[in-house]
A = this chain, B = another copy of it.
């Protein structure tokens, strides 16, 4: 084969790592421990030569004295002894962006685990990588230890994805799994997750669905060959999910999961992140705790599921290393699977045109005719009902105290619709609110069928 490439492979591949948190430290250890195995397998030595982090002295359980030290990640990226730049700093702009750009501009391949950076600048960075003729790997940015990026980029042949969905945030999945197994509120469960290190001190980014949205936007681009459009994702988090929702879901044969879902319709591409009723018998309903899963539906493969750890130092570091080894072998693929110039613009299918089933929970005043009035409003908007539940045993208000059915008190009413247009549902619920038979805002959770 090619002489030039073969000669290149004999030289060691010198790695510079910016960011020595859990993943960075795990990567350093992994490269040391597996150095011989890597050389045996790939015919090339891969070694860390330079690092950069916030603190030089912090104890990370690794010895960094043999590596060149940089205070500035951009300087590390430009270091002439560094062949490949690994960005593990995090953040959508700032030093992460500056250093990745600097590396690519210097004609160096990059591996990053930074989903926020890619969600915002992925297309520009991919274009820069293509221009420089180098690879940019980001397997670890979506679902840490699961090789979904490689699968989408290289594993599907010419199969055309019709829908991609998945559990992309371990924190939310842990909380929803525990709420499903125990009689525990969202708030208490979140506290436990924080104590266990499964949730950040400020959990907003996870529990409000933004983390899932970033990852979904990256998957959407790879699945549908369009530009990344993270700002165009419809996002609802899990903070409003109650025990009551979870119990009714179980009773009706569903589990509640925070899903990221993207699919193509005539109107464009839907990207949605929201708590979702999924059939309890479905594969995704059974992905529990901090596990992640991605399900791909293509025109050739009905359902391909990848599940595994979505985070964790060594699982994520293994994905970073897989990208490094692709580069060590000389792989150069357009980072988004398709040359950026060939990516189509993202065309958002409006959420109002979404069609699906809905779970609706209403606090209804216990007055005669209320149920009839509500169901009439739905009927007027062409919404057919699959199930209606109004029973004392689910008659619990938000504080968890059971109401009696005295006049002036409320009852919980649960409605499950057949496939309905989001616009019709919203209109009907506005009318129901105006009619004055209900208290507070309705709880609405979308149902996804597989």
Contacts and interface: CB of A to CB of B under 8 A. Distances in A.
Nearest to A319: B157
Interface in A87-113: none
Interface string A34-76: 1001101101000000000000000000000000000000000
A24 interface: no
A158 B34 contact: yes
Interface string A278-307: 000001001000000000001111111111
B309 A301 contact: yes
Contact of A301 (B145, B283, B286): B145
Contacts of A146: 304
A384 interface: no
A326 B31 CA distance: 26
A105 B314 CA distance: 41
Interface in A1-35: 1-2, 4-5, 30-31, 33-34
Interface in A301-340: 301-309, 314-315, 317-322, 324-326, 329, 331-333, 337-339
Query: What's the dominant secondary structure at chain A's contact region?
Result: mixed
A38 B225 CA distance: 12
Contacts of A156: 147, 318, 322
Interface of A: 1-2, 4-5, 30-31, 33-34, 37-38, 40-41, 43, 133, 139, 145-147, 150-151, 154-160, 225, 283, 286, 298-309, 314-315, 317-322, 324-326, 329, 331-333, 337-339, 342
B304 A305 contact: no
Given A147-B156, A150-B150, A303-B308, 13 more contacts: A40-B338, A41-B225, A146-B304, A150-B154, A156-B322, A157-B318, A157-B324, A300-B314, A300-B317, A300-B318, A302-B308, A304-B309, A305-B305
Given A317-B157, A322-B157, A1 B300 contact: no
Given A154-B326, A286-B286, A318-B156, A40 B342 contact: yes
Contacts of A150: 150-151, 154-155
A398 to B, nearest CB: 32
A300 B151 contact: no
Nearest to A150: B155
9 contacts: A31-B158, A40-B342, A43-B339, A157-B318, A157-B324, A283-B307, A301-B315, A301-B318, A307-B307
A13 to B, nearest CB: 13
Contacts of A157: 30, 317-322, 324-325
Contacts of A339: 40-41, 43
B304 A307 contact: yes
Contact of A158 (B30, B283, B305): B30
